[in-house]
Structure 1
């Protein structure tokens, strides 16, 4: 105690020695945590110990004014009673409570800022390497472009894998490979129509055309309208009843219409033949018949008449168009319808074979 009537209590003198009995001065200094002549003032912030002569560790957030222990915590990146230790590898920041990002080759990040001084592992970016690659990039420094992932989704940030598969027209681990010519669609699992030359790898539309005999966006329809072949551009032949020919090769499956033959029914009948598939023979009395109907529209051979030249000339006539009259055949018999000869001889007074000229012998004898 000191002062008037020794009524004032001494300050925090070193080792609790008596202060000056008059003015209260601590002649040997102050105890830890205090300062001033009478040792009644606490140490300023960041100072501690006897007479407040020691500085707190600068990594302290504020230390105990007596012991120097950082009892209010450490600044980011430090730990320990006196905040003299860096965060253990893999942690950083306040109270060393934050884990490092994906630093290259698992190196430790900076214990205070968390920055990865040597860069990031593939698939990550930013100072702290905590941000996965985005915007369709992946790999080291996020410098590689993703492939064609389904619905343009982000690929795996490290290896570029498309986790939900590929968009239409692509396949492969990273969806960077185009479908082959026979496949299309997501992951190239759809097959182009077999009638396609090659289809659009996204839609399956046969935009390079169809194989002969097929038509339509997907080459799913056969040729029609009596066409066949490449681009359905070849006209069918003369199929029976105007039927559609085979859509690929043009064959008439049920045969040919009248007047035509051959597998495609494009060959006209040979002379002397007519009808469906040219299997009927023209009448022998025809010069040549109509290849469809068999009618002798070029006329008949001598001795024949009728639409089909199947009738002999009427009795008494012969030859071309049956316009020649027979001679005087014996007993008024008809002459031969082709050459006009009287097969059984002539009437008396006429000379064979046509019995049209007089017989000089008979005339002289009977005159």
Structure 2
């Protein structure tokens, strides 16, 4: 008599057709199989027998798949990426970017030294805003070459004692400066008058300036000194510029700078330069001795007081100080 409806889930002539993926199986038309309240997630069409196209899923196929490694492996029902996420994404739906500081497939790679870690590409780790000081390369994982430092490795290290110990980030010389330089970056020459490691050496007796590295007196020595660093006094008997002047023979020892007889005079001579004989009637060291009764006082030796032309009447001896 054809008075009985098809069982739930079937429709058509003699109820031989099977309903599609209706959202509510009770709402499958027993006549033509239409899903009266729409399709279940992942299907579309009047009979809800057609899967969502690649790249979509869910009710009415309105949801867009995430960043699946393979788009045809996005599950049409709930959007799960069956073979995992594309580089830079995580989660079942692969819609969540890697956490800050990580990137790549599975988000298992760490970003390099980006200037701004928020500007590290979640996909390939490229530092979009450039590298932090001391690093270079697309991934900012390479330290600056030896002798360079700073942003873009554009700064040149100073005079480090060991260029391998120039800190690639800020240029600090970790083991100190080369001779002649000072400061954290070792770019400042020693102050005038100083030279050497840590600028601890003092220039001496230079006429003008000394080399800040080795202390050489660049314009020569002050009077009384010789040598590259002007640290050597003139040899005894010489004085003045380049030690080119000879002390007078009547000095026991002359000043190396100006030739003055600072170290004593030979007997019979006085004056700053020991070039003046004792006055008539005196002799000896500093002319402190008085001549005896010489026949001619002009012929009293200024050195030892000998009366060179003999004694006055009534006196005898070399010095003519003894009465006959």
TM range (shorter): 0.7 to 0.9
For residues 326 and 195 of structure 1, what CA distance do their matches in structure 2 show?
77
**Alpha carbons of 1:147 and 1:235: their partners in 2 closer, same or farther (altered >3 Å)?**
same
1:312 aligns with 2:285: no
1:325 aligns with 2:291: yes
Given that residues 146 and 154 in structure 1 are in contact (C-alpha distance below 8 angstroms), is that contact kept between their aligned partners in structure 2? no
Look up the match of 1:221. Answer: 188
Match of 1:162 among 108, 120, 127: 127
For residues 151 and 133 of structure 2, what CA distance do their matches in structure 1 show?
4
For residues 109 and 249 of structure 2, what CA distance do their matches in structure 1 show?
88
Look up the match of 1:59. Answer: 22
**Larger gyration radius, structure 1 or structure 2:** 1
DSSP-derived class of the 1:292 partner: coil
- Higher mean Cα deviation, 176-185 or 65-74? 65-74
Given that residues 91 and 97 in structure 1 are in contact (C-alpha distance below 8 angstroms), is that contact kept between their aligned partners in structure 2? yes
Match of 1:201 among 158, 164, 168: 168
For residues 302 and 44 of structure 1, what CA distance do their matches in structure 2 show?
151
Look up the match of 1:29. Answer: 2
Look up the match of 1:145. Answer: 110
DSSP-derived class of the 2:116 partner: helix
1:295 aligns with 2:268: no
Given that residues 312 and 320 in structure 2 are in contact (C-alpha distance below 8 angstroms), is that contact kept between their aligned partners in structure 1? no
Given that residues 54 and 71 in structure 2 are in contact (C-alpha distance below 8 angstroms), is that contact kept between their aligned partners in structure 1? no
CA shift digits 1:225-253 (9 cap, x unpaired): 6321100111221234xx65332111233
For residues 123 and 317 of structure 1, what CA distance do their matches in structure 2 show?
110
**Alpha carbons of 1:355 and 1:147: their partners in 2 closer, same or farther (altered >3 Å)?**
closer
- Higher mean Cα deviation, 310-319 or 127-136? 310-319
> Which residues of structure 2 form unaligned runs of 5+?
none
For residues 204 and 187 of structure 1, what CA distance do their matches in structure 2 show?
13
Matches within 5 A, 1:41-52: none
Matches within 5 A, 1:1-367: 28-30=1-3, 56-60=19-23, 62-64=27-29, 66-70=31-35, 72-194=37-159, 197-198=162-163, 199-224=166-191, 226-240=193-207, 245-322=210-287, 323=289, 325=291, 328=294, 333-335=298-300, 337-338=302-303, 346=310
Shift of 1:273: 2.1
Shift of 1:70: 3.2
Tell me the matched-pair count. Answer: 318
DSSP-derived class of the 2:177 partner: coil
For residues 335 and 145 of structure 1, what CA distance do their matches in structure 2 show?
105
CA RMSD after TM alignment: 3.7
Per the normalisation by structure 1, the TM-score is 0.72
Per the normalisation by structure 2, the TM-score is 0.80
**Alpha carbons of 1:70 and 1:355: their partners in 2 closer, same or farther (altered >3 Å)?**
closer
- Higher mean Cα deviation, 167-176 or 91-100? 91-100
Shift of 1:149: 0.8
Given that residues 135 and 143 in structure 2 are in contact (C-alpha distance below 8 angstroms), is that contact kept between their aligned partners in structure 1? yes
For residues 106 and 279 of structure 1, what CA distance do their matches in structure 2 show?
96
**Alpha carbons of 1:316 and 1:46: their partners in 2 closer, same or farther (altered >3 Å)?**
same
For residues 99 and 269 of structure 2, what CA distance do their matches in structure 1 show?
98
DSSP-derived class of the 1:95 partner: helix
**Alpha carbons of 1:299 and 1:139: their partners in 2 closer, same or farther (altered >3 Å)?**
same
For residues 207 and 90 of structure 1, what CA distance do their matches in structure 2 show?
56
